Amino acid sequence: MIKKQPHILPATSRREFLFRAGSGFGSVALAYLLQQDGFFARADGAGGSGFLAAKEPHHPPKAKSVIWLFMEGGPSHLDLFDPKPELERLAGQPMPESFGRPITAMGTANNTLMPSKRSWKQYGESGIWVSDWYPHVAQHVDDMAVFRSCWANGLNHVGSVCQMNTGSILAGRPSVGAWTTYGLGTANENLPTFVILTDEKQVVGGPKNWSSGFLPAAYQGTLFRHEGAPIFHLAPPEAITDTQQRSKLDFLGTLNRFFAADKAEDSELDARLNSYELAYRMQSAAPEAVDLSKESEATRKLYGLDDEATEKFGRNCLLARRLVERGVRFVQLYSGSGSGWDAHKDIEGNHSKMCKSSDKPIGGLLTDLKARGLLDTTLVVWGGEFGRTPFNEKGKGRDHNPWGFTIWMAGGGIKGGQYIGSTDEIGLRAADRPCHVHDVHATILHLLGLNHFALNYLHNGRFERPTINAGEVIEQAFA
């Protein structure tokens, strides 16, 4: 008589039991990693599938979406949000040795100190100082946390814009928007999760600033064009019916899946498949989302669409509001793309133009978000890749300053009406509570419900994080 063996053999010792139990840990880890990559779609089908499946945050979020107002080129904190009486006293003199001699981008450290020509005023109940260049933005200081002690590592635009987006001055890492998409997935079915809006020229460094880096390609940002239709070929040819297009898309998907069958490691193939499906769904959703003609005349004027000086950036600010209303998680708007804020020769002329084009649209955006009840769940971030130096360049300009500069945040869980940190008496270096770029990114991710240390991706045998191995959440900023 043959004795039947049990399906699972009993362990004969404690050591054998632990060995067998431990052999399953690898499967648990694998399932976790696959889930983190969005491999498992949600059972209810909500919020996309595959790579873009909606995921649970690490903790309850305070913000659902981000609108990042990127002032490319380096706005001067000394002439906008950080007045320095000591610069007035030392005007025309060499910088005192007590402040140290920085290595400047253009070799201007030995030039004389140059005071601001702006007039300043305190606004709101909080009494935050804002110059006369930003009167519309100034009306919202009680909703803003003004980070006066930011600092970064790059001297020039390409590396600094890259770091402000990705955390590194070297290209190749995912942007914060890509990490957000990876960590949370999509919140809508018919629009991209991460959108880039520019005003004129190409952003310095180009697509690496919204790249997915080593993350799967599905998480990269989608660039909307600043003239004409935001996305090429969004509308199908008139002669093609919806049934025909659906059949063509299904056939193309079959061919792509056949080709990808033995190329599981190539995330770009999956991204291409997802992009075709998203493009198909966008044909009905995107035209409506970007159609600003549906907005009232009062709203259009609020954003400055009736003025040539503010029309371009105002259009993008209004479009950003419409996108977050429709579930887009991360919208990044560039003011002065192509380093428009870079004021080496004539800061008065340069910043007068850039502030004129951005002040009313940003003020309108904050007013509109608040009126619609969206500011509570939308984190608005303002800033550039660095600030400007307190000493002059070419007599009337200012050099790059990554050692101390200002950004501000509003809405989305931010405690408004406060300063965070400070620069020294001449605005050269961060002094009290320095806030590195990694700290800024950690804070943004935290407000979205993501722990920057727990947001991991296995790359080349090592777990990578959005803030590399640094970054501290700036809890003082939270309401």
The confidence score (pLDDT) of residue 332 equals 98
Residue 7, C-beta contacts closer than 8 angstroms, at least 6 positions apart: none
Q: Phi and psi at residue 233, in whole multiples of 5°?
A: 55, 35
The confidence score (pLDDT) of residue 213 equals 97
Domain ranges of the chain: 65-229+298-477, 231-289
How far, in Å, are 97, 354, 393 from residue 109 at the CA level? 11, 25, 9
Determine the average pLDDT of the residues in 370-394: 97
**What is the pTM (predicted TM-score) of this model?**
0.84
Q: 75 near 384, Cβ under 8 Å? A: yes
Cβ count within 10 A of residue 312 = 20
Tell me: pLDDT of 393 over 90: yes
Residue 185's nearest CA partner among 76, 294, 46 is 46
Tell me: pLDDT of 400 over 50: yes
Give the 3-state secondary structure of residue 331.
strand
- What percent of the chain has pLDDT above 70? 80
Determine the average pLDDT of the residues in 290-298: 92
Tell me: pLDDT of 341 over 90: yes
Tell me: pLDDT of 49 over 70: no
| Residue 251 pLDDT level (bands cut at 50, 70, 90) | confident
The confidence score (pLDDT) of residue 277 equals 61
| Residue 44 pLDDT level (bands cut at 50, 70, 90) | very low
Determine the average pLDDT of the residues in 33-47: 41
Q: Which of 17-21, 35-39, 259-263 has the lowest mean pLDDT?
A: 35-39
The confidence score (pLDDT) of residue 201 equals 87
Residue 78, C-beta contacts closer than 8 angstroms, at least 6 positions apart: 84, 87, 116, 387, 388, 390, 398, 427
- What percent of the chain has pLDDT above 90? 72
Determine the average pLDDT of the residues in 223-230: 75
Tell me: pLDDT of 4 over 90: no
For the domain bounded by 65-229+298-477, which CATH number is listed? 3.40.720.10
- Among the residues of 9-95, which ranges form H helices? 14-22, 25-36, 85-89
Supply the mean pLDDT for the chain. Answer: 87
Tell me: pLDDT of 11 over 70: no
| Residue 202 pLDDT level (bands cut at 50, 70, 90) | very high
Residue type at 454? A
Residue 305, C-beta contacts closer than 8 angstroms, at least 6 positions apart: 292, 311, 314, 315, 318
Determine the average pLDDT of the residues in 333-362: 97
DSSP labels for 188-214? Answer: -SSS-SEEEE-SSSPPTTGGGGG--TT
Tell me: pLDDT of 24 over 90: no
The confidence score (pLDDT) of residue 266 equals 62
The confidence score (pLDDT) of residue 215 equals 96
DSSP labels for 161-189? Answer: HHHHHHS-SSTTSPPHHHHHHHHH--S-S
Q: What confidence tens digit (pLDDT) does each residue in 160-169 have?
A: 999 999 999 9
Q: Which residue has the higher pLDDT, 29 or 342?
A: 342
Residue type at 40? F
Give the 3-state secondary structure of residue 469.
coil
Residue 326's nearest CA partner among 448, 449, 191 is 191
Determine the average pLDDT of the residues in 130-145: 98
DSSP labels for 364-404? Answer: HHHHHHHHTT-TTTEEEEEE-S-EEEEEEETTTEEEEE-SS
Structure tokens given for 368: 């509109």
The confidence score (pLDDT) of residue 148 equals 98
Tell me: pLDDT of 319 over 70: yes
Determine the average pLDDT of the residues in 289-314: 95
**Rounded CA gap, 214 and 359, in Å?**
36
| Largest Cα span, the chain | 105
Q: How far apart are the first and last CA of the chain?
A: 75
Determine the average pLDDT of the residues in 373-393: 98
Q: What confidence tens digit (pLDDT) does each residue in 64-121 have?
A: 999 999 999 999 999 999 999 999 999 999 999 999 999 999 999 999 999 999 999 9
Structure tokens given for 205: 């460094």
Task: Report the half-sphere exposure of 427 (CA within 13 A, side-chain side).
Answer: 31
Q: What confidence tens digit (pLDDT) does each residue in 142-193 have?
A: 999 999 999 999 999 999 999 999 999 999 999 999 999 999 999 988 899 9
| Residue 274 pLDDT level (bands cut at 50, 70, 90) | low
Based on its alpha-carbon atoms, the radius of gyration of the chain, rounded to whole angstroms, reads 25
Q: Which residue is associated with the tokens 């509308």?
A: 235
The confidence score (pLDDT) of residue 29 equals 44
